[in-house]
Structure 1
Amino acid sequence: MSRVTIYHNPACGTSRNVLALLERARTEPEVVEYLKTPPSRDVLADLIRRMGLPVRQVLRRKGTPYAELGLDDPKWTDDELLDFMMAHPILINRPIVVTPRGVTLCRPSDVVLDLLPDLPPMDINLADLDKEEGVPFLKDTPIPASHPGLVAALTAAGLPVADLADGEGKFFAYWTLGGTLAGYGGYVPLDADVLVRSVVVPAAAQGKGIGRTLVALLLRRAWEEGHQRAWLLTTSAGGFFEKAGFKPVSRDQAPASVLATPQAQGLCPSTATLLSRTITV
């Protein structure tokens, strides 16, 4: 039996990207096309349990009968949601990957790297592998707010650094599979919300779609911790963040926790645009 299994939908670009990386990483995965051969109810329930997620968070909305079935209604129990997933396998989000390191819903596709052994920098077999849309895979590494690379990158980009030492934010450095620095990003946890901040991509890495992947991976980390909505303030990158699913909102729509942050209190100018989006995978 294969030690790596992917519950795969070949029509899904994210699923294809994950499978390509698993194959290039020489894992010889067992591929289960779950729309043709769905897992049993017990197996699906066990996969969700091992992922540590509520059943509702494994439901796929886009391109499924989710809205038609009224699955947004909180009245449905986990058992009932599992019944819906068995009746309509397209409701199972994808791809789910199982390795000796655990079970994960790999969205964005970069998250599959969490399940693989640590890869050496410049791994010849992986360094030249991009996603099928031509964007590099990214690996994120937690870093302290005082990280000199982060401080230097933010300073060069004219982004705030005065509040980095307050210890409230979570920050990451991002690397390509070939070991090239691809950027930095962070967020401040605010109960169910987060304030996204310190997103910066070096000039040499710009124009390659890295920023959008970086934001998706950053929001995934917030989602893993149970956060439900992301907010940010920007003076010049509104167009970029709107392409990443954020929408402009007026400040009177923001929760008090967001308005009380140093960014909203003055680190960002009053002319900065406030944007928000639901955190989903």
Structure 2
Amino acid sequence: MSTITIYHNPGCGTSRNVLAMIRQTGAEPEVIEYLKVPPSREELADLIRRAGLTVRQVLRRKGTPYAELGLDDPKWTDDDLLNFMMAHPVLINRPIVVTPRGVTLCRPSDVVLDLLPDLPHADFDKEEGAPFLVDEPIPATDSGLVAALTAAGLPVEDLTNGEGRFFAYQTLGGTPAGYGGYLSLGSDILVRSITVPETMRGKGVGRNLVTLLLRRAWEEGHQRAWLLTTSAGGFFEKAGFKPVARDQAPATVLATPQAQGLCPSTATLLSRTITV
């Protein structure tokens, strides 16, 4: 009997990537195509509980009747939302993976690596050609981070205060793939220190790095991301960020060292909701 179960939608690229990664480790999971065979209401509630998520966090919006049903309305209780998911299984976000290490909604697909005990030691690419990334928490004063940011002309002056969460990224084969971090500002975050080596650019690494970084912020309950940039606005807009006037930003964002002068006044402010 398999020790890994994936609640899978074969029409979803993220779900296919997760399944391929599981099989790359040599495991053959139990594959449940939940649109054909939905979990029971009790099973779904238990999966959500074990994943440490709320029912609302597991609702899928894109390509579903979410808006038509008015599910943004806070009047709906968890019981109500579970009833909607039973009536419309497409509202269940995917893929949900169960292993002896726990239960996780694996979006982005790189998150499945948290659940797998024996990872391959060679690069493995997703369908779109970008490699799976491993993220490792590092201190703000990490020498590699400081060197990469300095080389990229990004701010480092405030790193000595030790604030923020930072990560180093690499492929499964150990190739360095960049750095990223964020400052926690209540329900918001300020994304900062995104850098990707020149040799890794043009492969989708930067996009996946940002998506994985936002996922880590989402896991901590953050709901909106902000950032300031002088030259990468186009890249971040492709990642779902939109320009925002500075007077529309919360005071916590405007009080950060970046907004107070580390970034020039000409830097563009962008924002997006954090979703998976």
Amino acid at match of 1:175: Q
Identity of aligned residues (%): 82
Distance across 2 between alignment mates of 1:92 and 1:46 = 14
Q: Aligned-pair distance for 1:203?
A: 1.0
Q: Which amino acid aligns with 2:254?
A: L
Out of 179, 201, 209, the residue aligned to residue 206 of structure 1 is: 201
| In the alignment, structure 1 residue 240 sits paired with structure 2 residue 229 | no
TM-score normalized by the length of structure 1: 0.97
**Equivalent residue number for residue 83 of structure 2:** 83
Q: In structure 1, how many angstroms separate the alpha carbons of the residues matched to 2:134 and 2:61? A: 27
Q: Measure, in 1, the Cα distance between the counterparts of 2:226 and 2:115.
A: 29
Cα distance per residue 1:4-51 (max 9 Å; x no partner)? 000000000000000000011112100000000000111000000001
Over residues 166-208 of structure 1, what are the superposed CA-to-partner deviations in whole Å (9 max), with x where a residue is unaligned?
Answer: 1221000001011100000000000000000000001111111
Give 3-state SS (helix, strand or coil) of 2:37's partner: coil
Q: Does 1:45 align with 2:45?
A: yes
For the pair 1:36 / 2:36, whether they are aligned, the reply is: yes
TM normalised by structure 2 equals: 0.99
1:68 corresponds to: 68
CA distance in 2: counterparts of 1:236 and 1:78, whole angstroms: 43
**2:8 aligned residue:** 8
Query: Cα deviations across residues 54-84 of structure 1 (Å, max 9, x unaligned)?
Result: 1001000000000111100000000110000
Q: Deviation per CA, 1:139-163, whole angstroms, max 9, x where unpaired?
A: 1000011111100000000000000
Q: 2:83 corresponds to which letter in structure 1? A: D
Q: Whole-Å Cα distance in 2 between the matches of residues 236 and 252 of structure 1? A: 21
In structure 2, how many angstroms separate the alpha carbons of the residues matched to 1:199 and 1:141? 14
For 2:160 and 2:225, the matched residues in 1 are separated by 22
Task: Report the 3-state secondary structure (helix = DSSP H, G, I; strand = E; otherwise coil) of the residue aligned with 1:98.
Answer: strand
1:8 is aligned with what amino acid? H
C-alpha distance in structure 2 between counterparts of 1:195 and 1:227, whole Å: 10
Q: For 1:28 and 1:165, how far apart are their aligned partners in 2?
A: 46
Alignment partners' CA distance in 1, 2:161 and 2:86: 47
SS in 2 for 1:277: strand
For structure 1, list consecutive stretches of 5 or more residues without a partner in the other structure.
none
Structure 2 residue matching 1:52: 3-state secondary structure? coil
- Equivalent in the alignment of 1:261: 256
What is the SS of the residue equivalent to 1:93? coil
2:187 is matched with which residue: 182, 185, 192?
Answer: 192
Shift of 1:128: 3.9
Preserved CA contact (<8 Å) 2:140 2:163: no
What CA deviation, in whole Å up to 9, does each residue of 1:192-238 have, x standing for no partner? 00000000001111111100000000000000000000000000000
Cα deviation for residue 245 of structure 1 reads 0.1
Q: How many residues align?
A: 276
Distance across 2 between alignment mates of 1:54 and 1:203: 39
CA distance in 2, matches of 1:129, 1:140: 15
Q: What is the RMSD computed on CA atoms of the aligned residues?
A: 0.8
Q: CA offset at residue 118 of structure 1?
A: 5.1
Matching residue of 1:150: 145
Number of the residue aligned with 1:250: 245
4+ long deviations beyond 6 Å: none
User: C-alpha displacement at 1:119, in angstroms?
Assistant: 3.0
- Structure 2 gaps, min length 5: none
Which residue pairs with 1:133 in the alignment? 128
Q: Find the aligned partners of 1:165 and 1:258 in 2 and give their Cα distance.
A: 19
